[in-house]
Amino acid sequence: MAAISFEVEHQDQETSARTGRLQTPHGEIQTPIFMPVGTAGTVKGMKPRDLLEVGSQIILGNTYHLFLRPGHELVRQMGGLHKFMSWDKPILTDSGGFQVFSQAELRKITEEGVEFRSYLDGSKMWMGPEESMEVQEALGADIIMAFDECVALPATRDKIQDAMDRTTRWLKRCIKAHSREDQALFGIIQGGIELDLRRAHLEELAELGLPGYAIGGLSVGEAPEDMYRVVHDLAPRMPAEKPRYLMGVGRPEDLVECVAGGVDMFDCVMPTRNARNAQLFTTYGPLKIRNARYKDDPEPVDPECDCHTCTHFSRAYLRHLFVSKELLGSMLATHHNLAFYLRLMRQMRSAIEEGRFSTWRKDFYTSFRRGV
């Protein structure tokens, strides 16, 4: 029996947007969905019950960080990542590739894998496809990602082609090393912003018959318009009966545009990282809570939001917490931002189901671009 199953429920008639149900060993996920990022086995500032309260259906764990600390063997010994962090819903782990390749000056790439230095103590470490599979199998996530080579853009066509070809070879090694039947291995499509390379890579990977596919190598320095162009061309060509995952994206408007392009799954650190930096997302656009104009503002962060932060605290109080460097400020801001993102996904699912996605999309932009 396959680790996951996916069924498309509604297909929008005017765009490539769709809703679906993704069954995993730890429960069902309604798509399109946003996955909060729990880098080191925790979504910063959020307890598991808080994640449930804001509507999280699945979270993401980071293989690279968990490999370095506390170590995958310890997590395995503690019963796997679900038990270790007390989260009984689905988890997806990335392969560690993106983080390794982000350390341009600290790594050395060979056909076998990548040598890199630990950001903790500078010690030499090694990761290749087999090691990534070993770590992810020890962590025990429901969905695991193939080890890929991610190229920062802009890059030459030759460099993009080389990374794409190596990603395919590494994927085949991941498939060979992957042994847990209760984990679904997704392949990652590379190719930069070159549509012909993206299509060719998709064709190669689709032949391998994996349970799901991701678009990697975007949101790495290209213009949003280039990202949308790639997604709108590529996602509808991806196997219709498999979940489509866009990695590391993004801003609220990116989610809307890429759902319109046919994407089912997203993850990004933006809602949590921006919250810690005092930027909150609202129906009427981003709000920088440290701004002096909020010093005596009795309004909630977003009058349209029913999250715990917005129903209990004022902008003035949140500003006070950030100015005073109180830990609670980041926690309340994170709670709100994740609630905003997950409500945005629910709104899109409802709009697609009811055949009004295009109208909803226009209304979203009218509000979001208005400004707070």
In tens, the pLDDT along 113-163 reads 999 888 889 899 999 999 999 999 999 999 999 999 988 888 999 999 999
With cut-offs at 50, 70 and 90, classify the pLDDT of residue 106: low
Q: Does the pLDDT value for residue 100 go beyond 80?
A: no
Is 121 designated active site? no
Q: Considering 12, 94, 142, 302, which one is annotated as catalytic?
A: 94
Is 94 designated active site? yes
CA distance 263 to 32: 7
pTM for this predicted structure? 0.97
Q: Yes or no: is domain 5-268 CATH 3.20.20.140?
A: no
Q: Check: CB of residue 138 under 8 Å from CB of residue 122.
A: no
Model confidence pLDDT, tens digit, residues 2-20 = 899 999 999 999 999 999 9
Task: Provide the token pair at 219.
Answer: 């949101």
Report the interhelical angle of 157-177 vs 195-206 (nearest 10°): 10
In the DSSP assignment, the letter for residue 293 is G
Q: Considering 12, 254, 264, 267, which one is annotated as catalytic?
A: 267
Domain ranges of the chain: 5-268, 275-368
